[in-house]
């Protein structure tokens, strides 16, 4: 994975329409990082600027240690035979950390400015809500563990991207509500930043898995796509014009709380009829407790109960099967609504639970198509990405890299303390 990241690059291949407003040095750097290795002449062509400007900018970027020259085979061989000089992001500098905190385990990755993953770690945790102090303890411990394994000084880290489930204001670092925190309205990012002594950027975990798709996955070549995450809750991230859409207060795209039923099932947000209340873990478990005649039903963990429900459905238990089928129908309703509202090229269904194939069976997609408005367009492609938790942490690292790049090379560079 590491070598691959160096060569194929990371970050969106295509820049958003407002990227022309960024300083040319940032555009050049981000273009090189996206392509992995690229000759100067190609950079000039792609960014539609003169080769002389690119030469000046790349000299500056090489001198300041952001880029380096490498020998590379000629792209579109012109027959001259000698290897071309290509540019790449200098590896092993400006490290950042990405982490995801969750109900079951915490995960972390260490990456450098090129986006290369250097080390990873995962720590199981006891269930229950955490205080801000406990979040500080766990992030600090994970940070030290991953840095220690990689031989990187934790004090040299340039930023931490952190994903938490819930309602997060990414601009201010305020967590309005999270199922893993014991208090509402927590100043998580400023508090952690002070404790850890580095910039901390937080976002809701669905946005981070979407950033991971935009930086490292299927979304790199897409201008408009959705990622729907189905875990303990239901989340969504949306990339609009090559950029993550967050809404005015960073709280948009709460697909899990989109109403799919008036006066419907009770959701953990306190309202009724939310999608989550029909599709998420706890909704399936609620139904499983009623329908399945299992011993020690009350004492089983959510995970074990879901596994039992799934195996019962597979074995032909009609009650178990109908629970998944109903959840799948609600999911198809939600996906049709997303398509009708946003017209994405691609919808990625992401999360550990993707193995419960009853939810994502062909029937779900057929049903989704019946609820899409008739416009003559093709239905968006729906892909299932059953990636582990590490992808969320990689998205968190991408958030830290995005911000660090902006600070070091963006319009605000002169203001940032180096
Ligand atoms: Zn709700």
Do the Cβ atoms of 334 and 342 come closer than 8 Å?
no
Global confidence as pTM:
0.88
pLDDT of 63 strictly over 50: yes
Whole-number Å distance, alpha carbon 279 to ligand 1 midpoint, is 11
pLDDT at position 160:
97
> Given this model, what pLDDT does residue 1 score?
36
Q: From the CA of 277, how far away is ligand 1's center (Å)?
A: 7
Least trusted range by pLDDT, from 27-36, 122-131, 216-225 = 122-131
Tokens in use for 365? 């997609």
As a whole-number percent, the residues of the chain with pLDDT over 70 amount to 89
Question: Which is more confident, 15 or 94?
Answer: 94
| C-alpha 138 – ligand 1 centre gap (Å) | 28
pLDDT for position 249: 79
How far apart CA 245 and CA 202 sit, in angstroms, is: 15
Distance 258 CA to ligand 1 centre (A): 7
Cα gap 163→160, rounded to integer Å: 10
pLDDT computed for residue 416 by the predictor: 45
- Residues 418 and 415: their CA atoms lie apart, in Å, by 9
Task: Tell me, in angstroms, the distance from the centre of ligand 1 to residue 202's CA.
Answer: 22
Q: What is the pLDDT of residues 38-58, one digit of tens each?
A: 999 999 999 999 999 999 999
The b/e string for 277-291 (b: 16+ C-beta within 10 A; e otherwise) is bbbbbebbbebbeeb
Instruction: State the pLDDT at residue 418.
Output: 42
Cα(255) to centroid of ligand 1, in Å?
A: 9
User: Which of 78-87, 133-142, 297-306, 344-353 is modeled with the greatest confidence?
Assistant: 133-142
Distance from the alpha carbon of residue 165 to the mean position of ligand 1, in angstroms:
14
Residue partners of 364: CB distance under 8 A and separation at least 6: 328, 329, 331, 332, 335
> Quick one: average pLDDT of 276-291?
86
């Amino acid at each position: 994975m590491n070598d691959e990241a160096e060569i194929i690059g990371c970050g969106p291949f295509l820049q958003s329409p407002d990227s022309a407003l960024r300083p040319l040095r940032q555009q050049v750097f981000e273009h090189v990082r996206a392509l992995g290795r690229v000759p100067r002449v190609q950079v000039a062509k792609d960014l539609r600027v003169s080769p002389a400007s690119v030469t000046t900018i790349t000299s500056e970027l090489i001198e300041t240690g952001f880029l380096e020259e490498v020998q590379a085979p000629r792209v579109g061989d012109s027959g001259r035979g000698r290897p071309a000089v290509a540019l790449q992001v200098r590896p092993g500098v400006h490290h950042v950390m990405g982490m995801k905190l969750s109900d079951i385990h915490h995960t972390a990755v260490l990456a450098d400015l090129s986006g290369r993953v250097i080390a990873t770690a995962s720590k199981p945790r006891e269930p229950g809500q955490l205080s801000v102090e406990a979040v500080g303890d766990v992030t600090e411990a994970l940070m030290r563990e991953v840095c220690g394994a990689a031989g990187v000084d934790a004090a040299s880290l340039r930023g931490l991207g952190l994903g938490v489930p819930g309602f997060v204001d990414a601009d201010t670092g305020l967590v309005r509500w999270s199922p893993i925190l014991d208090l509402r309205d927590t100043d998580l990012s400023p508090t952690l930043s002070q404790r850890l002594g580095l910039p901390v950027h937080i976002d809701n975990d669905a946005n981070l898995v979407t950033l991971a798709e935009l930086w490292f996955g299927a979304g790199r070549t897409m201008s408009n796509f959705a990622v729907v995450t189905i875990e303990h809750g239901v989340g969504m991230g949306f990339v609009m014009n090559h950029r993550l859409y967050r809404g005015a207060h960073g709280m948009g795209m709460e697909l899990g709380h989109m109403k799919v039923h008036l006066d419907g099932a009770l959701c953990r947000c306190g309202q009724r009829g939310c999608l989550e209340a029909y599709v998420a873990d706890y909704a399936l478990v609620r139904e499983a407790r009623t329908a399945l005649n299992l011993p020690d039903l009350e004492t089983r963990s959510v995970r074990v109960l879901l596994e039992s429900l799934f195996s019962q459905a597979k074995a032909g238990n009609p009650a178990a099967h109908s629970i998944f089928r109903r959840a799948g129908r609600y999911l198809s309703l939600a996906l049709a609504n997303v398509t009708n509202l946003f017209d994405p090229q691609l919808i990625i269904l992401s999360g550990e639970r993707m193995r419960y194939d009853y939810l994502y069976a062909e029937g779900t997609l057929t049903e989704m198509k019946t609820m899409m408005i008739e416009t003559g367009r093709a239905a968006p492609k729906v892909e299932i990405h059953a990636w582990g938790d590490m992808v969320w942490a990689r998205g968190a690292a991408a958030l830290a890299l995005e911000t660090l790049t902006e600070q070091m090379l963006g319009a605000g560079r002169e203001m940032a303390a180096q």
